[in-house]
Amino acid sequence: MTSVDQFTAAVIASAAPYTELDEYYVHNRILGLVGDDNPVEAVDDQLTSLNDALVQTAINNGKIDDTPSDKEILADQLMDLVTPLPSTLNQTFWNKYQTSPQTATDYFFQLSKANDYIKTRAIAKNVVFPAKTDFGDLEITINLSKPEKDPKAIAAARNQPQDGYPLCQLCMENEGYLGRLGYPARSNHRIIRLTLGGETWGFQYSPYAYFNEHSIFLDRVHRPMVINRQTFSNLLEIVKQFPHYFVGSNADLPIVGGSMLTHEHYQGGRHDFPMMKAPIARKIDVGVTNVEAGIVKWPMSTIRLSSTDQVALLDAATKIHNIWMTYSDESVDVRAYTDGERHHTTTPIARKVGDQYVIDLVLRDNQTSAEFPDGIFHPHQDVQHIKKENIGLIEVMGRAILPARLKTELHEVEQYLLGQANDMATMHQTWADEIKAQNKITADNVTEIVQREVGNVFARVLADAGVFKWDDAGEAAFDRFVTTVNAD
């Protein structure tokens, strides 16, 4: 059998809307995409390998150019053939939900991997290792999964009108979108519909997942991120519907927010982040009955709220958030406003623990200053050789998403530490000299030492982002804020 025949058989055998009576039709659909001549044989019978062979066949036949954009668009068109229609998928998902929420998400997750919407082969390239710190074991990842962008695609994206279609990569209009130069292919993309707060939302998986079952919950309407009582209500409703998932929201301000603030969305999944394992350092009273509260032993300033009473939990989270929005303490550089510009918001994370609903509320401040032009509560200049980007939801919870450049750069640091020929970046020099001075380095331990020190830098990054530091002044300031909350 040729790769075309094998892929045809896979389509007929899949959950897509085809039967044996559709065999010739499907076969000819595939030939129309890849051409009739020069068939390339697959390395094995895996669906992704068959897809690779068909894409190469299309290149050999002149159907597409050998460019990342053209290959991605065709690959997703082919995988669309093995993917159920959105209506069919939604019906199957909610039918399986009647068995259990996990049965439904297991089905959707496995499908999203099988049809290569979740790029499992690319994700496997990421470098992942734990790092022991004073705040527990942090998770370090060097993100190698997202492919390098084609220069032509970068130029096309820059010239794309801001009111184009789809408006952004989180819009529901991406479902089934062919893609174009500078904009990702989404032919095999599917979204589960659900209702939050009486409005339609979508649930999908992240193509380049940063953790297990990395999910995105997105508003049907393209509107900016916002953190308010409705946000907390939506998060609790999601974990009520999917109690085996956590869900959280990036902050809604630049610097402390995520990379996409123009479309309301949350992220969730099945993963126990380091912050979730962090203990309560001391219990506090936030003045709301039936809610337990405490300050979490975590580098970022976090209040943990728990209750079986969702309304009481909403009251507590909303109260803390609203007070923080206008709270200032000049003694620790905390200012809610400067020149009329708002600086305060929160990063909320919700989950279920037994019969308890839990919200971790992280206090955020996006001020800048002459000393810290990138942000007072942002990675400071001396750690930006490792991490300069915004500290978003995933980093807040203790999983570093570090740039791909570090895979090569850290190898060069190791060579330097071993006294071998190297091309170490100048920005790592001070850090590397400190490591060398504090450790006896050998070929056997150099990687372990460098990884440990990367973890320590990430812990510092999180501490930089914490508004109340873990020192006497910071803890006293945190207590003053709690007193204000309790008294309100």
Among all chains, which residue has been given the structure tokens 């959280």?
Answer: 248
DSSP state letter for 279: P
Q: Where are the domains of the chain?
A: 3-85, 400-465
pTM score, two decimals? 0.94
Phi, psi for 138 (deg, rounded to 5): -85, 165
Q: Which residues contact 19 (CB under 8 A, 6 or more apart)?
A: 12
Q: What are the φ/ψ torsions at residue 447 (nearest 5 degrees)? A: -65, -45
pLDDT for 15 equals 72
The token duo for 331 is: 């003694």
Asked if residues 244 and 270 have their Cβ atoms less than 8 Å apart, the reply is: yes
Q: What is the largest CA-CA distance in the chain?
A: 77
pLDDT in tens, 307-362: 999 999 999 999 999 999 999 999 999 999 999 999 999 999 999 999 999 999 99
**Residue 132 identity (one-letter amino acid):** K
The stretches in the chain having pLDDT less than 70 are: 147-163
270, 369 contact by CB (below 8 A): no
Among residues 60, 357, 371, the alpha carbon closest in space to that of 238 is found at: 357
Rounded to an integer, what distance in angstroms lies between the CA atom of residue 176 and that of residue 172? 9
What does the block give as tokens for 389? 């980007």
In this prediction, residue 61 carries a pLDDT of 96
Tokens 């000819």 belong to which residue?
Answer: 28
- By three-state DSSP, how is residue 398 classified? coil
What is the per-residue pLDDT for 159?
57
